[in-house]
Structure 1
Amino acid sequence: MEKHHHEKKTLWVVLLTAVTMVVEIIYGIITNSMALLADGIHMGSHVLAIGLSWLAYVLVRRLSASGTFKGESKKILSLSGYSSGLMLLIFALVIMVEAIERIFHPTDIVYKEAILVAIIGLFVNIASAFLLHHDHEHSDHNIRAAYLHVIADALTSLTAIIGLTAAMKWDIPFIDTVAAIISSLVIIKWSVGLLKDSGAALLDLPGSHEHHHHH
């Protein structure tokens, strides 16, 4: 039953995040804010990632119910975590390249709207983190991946808010770009960690469970 409970919560987080992400990406484009766009894309990778973990739950439940599946269902969860990590890495690199181009071709940013949307994003992330936190089990790569995604999201939202506010105050669009780059560095760090952990679990390497606690 308790696994089923995970599924429901995870699905809610996916839906919440998906809506916010669309808003952030659209406004990131409208307001020309690189940091907001980075935040939105970052969220998008999480919608995919958390969506994957939700699917993994459903799969594991179906397969363990069918009884014909003799493999290790944990592997599915690790694979889902691994795919998430890979996607995050790709997104981060895309944002990085975009942001670096933006340094050479600065654009005008509609600050007030961008900041407002980033704040909404932050609240959604915090709400999602609370939803997921109660299910925070170390044995479960999946909920852990989803939880980390949401926390990482809250951080990029925060970076975007701070970056945009500073850029608006002193009229330096460059800060927005720097915020986007910082965000992508954070994403890269998370994704590499996730790839290491889930990869180790996939390959049954010793130590795949020991270093769960580090960030």
Structure 2
Amino acid sequence: MNHHETFEKKTLYVVLLTAVTMVVEIIFGLTTRSMALLADGIHMGSHVLAIGLSWIAYVAVRRLSQSRQYSADTERILSLSGYTSGLMLLIFAVFILIEAVQRLFHPMDIHFNEAIVIAIIGLLINLVSAAILHHEHDHGDHNIRAAYIHVLADALTSIGAIAGLLAAKYFGWLFVDALAAIASSAVIIKWSIGLIKQSGQSLIGLKKETQN
């Protein structure tokens, strides 16, 4: 089994794990009327979409690699998927940044206990997903790297949320919650731009090779 097939299975496991978590959080968010839980479930949905894209790319590569006519384009598919995931991650990070800045100037009441539990559950799910997607960075595979960065970014967001919520709950520092989100967004934006640049360069390089 080559590393593409291995990565295909890994991304499928993470998609299923994230999808189950998303459904559970949305159901309990609706039944308990917890906006925090519902929002986190919808947030999980964005990662199901992004990591699902990575899995679809591996499926496409596996099928197209059986045909000599398309064998030269398989690596481009992975780079394109990584590039697209990078853009999705960047948009997601910018959205969080805007919301966090608004929350900084217009603080709102927070249901601390529920929010902290949700953040901890999200962190655990993302740590498991990161362990599944962990790989050596010697393949130049931007697709698996994109999926890995997605779960790391989500884990970072959860850590920031936990720290901010604890500070707000026990010290009354509501602004720390927004500051943690801003800091997390800045790091995620940096990661996403790096992924976009690297996968974009790979796409250009592959295109030049096919033209020669």
> Per the shorter chain, which TM-score range?
0.7 to 0.9
User: Which stretches in structure 1 are left out of the alignment for 5+ residues?
Assistant: 206-215
RMSD of aligned residue pairs (Cα, Å): 2.8
Partner of 2:157: 156
CA 1:98–1:38 in 2, change beyond 3 Å: closer, same or farther? farther
Instruction: Give 1:48's aligned residue.
Output: 49
Give the secondary-structure state (helix, strand or coil) at the position aligned to 1:189: helix
TM-score by length of 2: 0.83
Q: How far off is 1:156 after superposition?
A: 1.4
In the other structure, the counterpart of 1:189 is: 190
Query: For structure 1, which segment, 81-90 or 174-183, has the greater mean C-alpha deviation from structure 2 after superposition?
Result: 174-183
Who is 1:76 aligned against? Answer: 77
Q: Number of paired residues?
A: 202
Higher helix share: 2
Report the equivalent of 1:122. Answer: 123
Q: Which runs of 5+ in 2 are unaligned?
A: 207-212
Contact 1:39–1:156 (CA under 8 A) maintained in structure 2 = no
Deviation at 1:129, TM superposition (A): 1.2
Equivalent-residue separation in structure 2 for 1:187 and 1:142 (angstroms): 17
Q: Describe the shift of the 1:180–1:96 C-alpha distance in structure 2 as closer, same or farther (beyond 3 A).
A: same
Alpha-carbon distance change, 146 to 121 in structure 1, aligned in 2, over 3 angstroms: same
Measure the CA separation in 2 of the matches of 1:185 and 1:32.
25
CA distance in 1, matches of 2:18, 2:141: 21
* TM-score (norm: length of structure 1): 0.82
TM-superposed CA distance for 1:44, in Å, is 4.3
Q: Deviations over 1:93-129 (max 9, x none)?
A: 1111112222222110000110111111111111111
- Provide the rounded CA distance (Å) in 1 between the counterparts of 2:149 and 2:89: 12
Identity of aligned residues (%): 61
| Alignment-derived partner of residue 180 in structure 1 | 181
Q: Which residue of 1 aligns with 2:10?
A: 9
Q: Distance in 1 between matches of 2:84 and 2:12?
A: 18
Partner AA of 1:65 in structure 2:
Q
User: Once the 2 structures are TM-superposed, how far is the Cα of residue 70 of structure 1 from its aligned partner?
Assistant: 4.6
Structure with greater contact order relative to length (CA < 8 Å, sep ≥ 6):
1
